[in-house]
Chain A
Amino acid sequence: MTVLGNPKLRASQLKVGDTREAVLVENLTRTQIVMYAGASGDFNPIHHDETFATKAAGYPSVFAHGMLTMGMTGRLLTDWLGDGVLREYGVRFVKQVWPGDSLTAKATVTAIGGDGTVEIEVVTTNQNGESVVAGSARALLPQ
């Protein structure tokens, strides 16, 4: 496979167990959730209509799209590894993210292949240390 994109480092500069952490958002605003609704096209009212979210759906408030957290978490990966170098990126949505939450993502190298493939595990946690998104990514870097 050819290396695509604009790698920031070579696979040989990484080792299994290397980690990188980033604060993704502090005190998440409803405004950002609305920005994400508009940009993504996901207008499920549970993410922006407080009356619907609380009265009809029984949640304590609106909550962020899981994809907003996945998108923010992706920043850690691309800031670390480079632009357009990811080959796979997948997450499970573990817990809701609420307005006012502060999120931190942590990525850990779990494997490095001889061809420059780097496997990463990624977890994003809220201010209470609870994981909200957990997943993995694979990047192809120059060896």
Chain B
Amino acid sequence: MSEPEYEFPVDRTAILTFAAAIGETNPIYWSASHAKSTPLGDVIAPPTFGVSSAHWNPNYGLRGTRKIPPRVEAPQPTETKARSGGGGGSLARVLHGEQRFAYHKPMQPGMKLRVTTRPGKAWEKEGKKGGKLKFTETITEYHDASGDLVLVATSVGVLTEKAVEQ
């Protein structure tokens, strides 16, 4: 599913909270004075920070986009699948299978990135315990104000037909 492009303003508070969440202790992610003493000149975003553009994506599927997510009414499981997973509707059946990033320029505060998303490859495979696994690639490109490519993020989602293997 193609999404409209949107702007992702990179700011240092978002970088700080993201870096803290992944347990970073590297001052390059928050100390402007440290960053000034390096060739980078200013703080940078951690390598996986690009995914947090989700906050600015008006069509983001995993909820919480600039609003309080609504309560998910748990669907009645047709059978209990303790320790096997895979129930609970599409939120529980879609797994993140793979993620790749290609870096072209450091991502830094003040950048106003133009984010565009397009579908990539799609393929199917038989799961180990039977049931089809559907793989879908989504390619997200981040360009800065001068039109230069900053980041390409490729995500592979896996839709499971049956219970998820643990």
Contact status of A67 and B51, CB under 8 A, knowing A52-B74, A57-B87: yes
Tell me, in angstroms, the Cα distance from A6 to B82 when the chains sit together: 48
Tell me, in angstroms, the Cα distance from A4 to B47 when the chains sit together: 14
Chain B nearest Cβ from A72, distance in angstroms? 5
- Contact between B48 and A70, CB atoms less than 8 A apart: yes
Asked if A113 is at the interface of the complex by the 8 Å CB criterion, the answer is: no
- Contact between A93 and B95, CB atoms less than 8 A apart: yes
Contact residues, B33-63 vs A (CB, 8 A): 38-40, 44, 46-48, 51-52, 54-55, 60, 62-63
Contact status of A4 and B105, CB under 8 A, knowing A58-B82, A58-B85, A58-B86: yes
Tell me, in angstroms, the Cα distance from A40 to B55 when the chains sit together: 7
Closest to A139 in B: B103
Closest to A3 in B: B39
Chain B interfacial residues counted at CB < 8 A = 57
Chain A interfacial residues counted at CB < 8 A = 53
Tell me, in angstroms, the Cα distance from A24 to B25 when the chains sit together: 11
Closest to B72 in A: A45
Closest to A92 in B: B98
Contact of B96 among A53, A67, A77 (CB under 8 A): A67
Tell me, in angstroms, the Cα distance from A59 to B100 when the chains sit together: 26
- Contact between B88 and A83, CB atoms less than 8 A apart: no
- Contact between B64 and A6, CB atoms less than 8 A apart: no
Contact status of A38 and B96, CB under 8 A, knowing A45-B91, A59-B85, A87-B102: no
Q: Which residues of A contact B83 (CB under 8 A)?
A: 58-60
Q: Which residues of B contact A91 (CB under 8 A)?
A: 98-100
- Contact between A6 and B38, CB atoms less than 8 A apart: yes
Most buried by A among B21, B46, B84, B105: B21
Contact status of A44 and B28, CB under 8 A, knowing A35-B21, A39-B17, A93-B95: no
Contact status of A43 and B62, CB under 8 A, knowing A67-B96, A78-B26, A83-B28: yes
Contact residues, B62-86 vs A (CB, 8 A): 62-65, 69, 72, 74-75, 77, 80-86
Chain B proximity mask over A42-82: 1 for CB below 8 Å, otherwise 0: 11111001011111111110000111101110110111000
8 additional contacts (CB under 8 A) given A45-B72, A93-B97: A37-B64, A56-B74, A57-B85, A58-B84, A58-B87, A84-B40, A90-B100, A93-B95
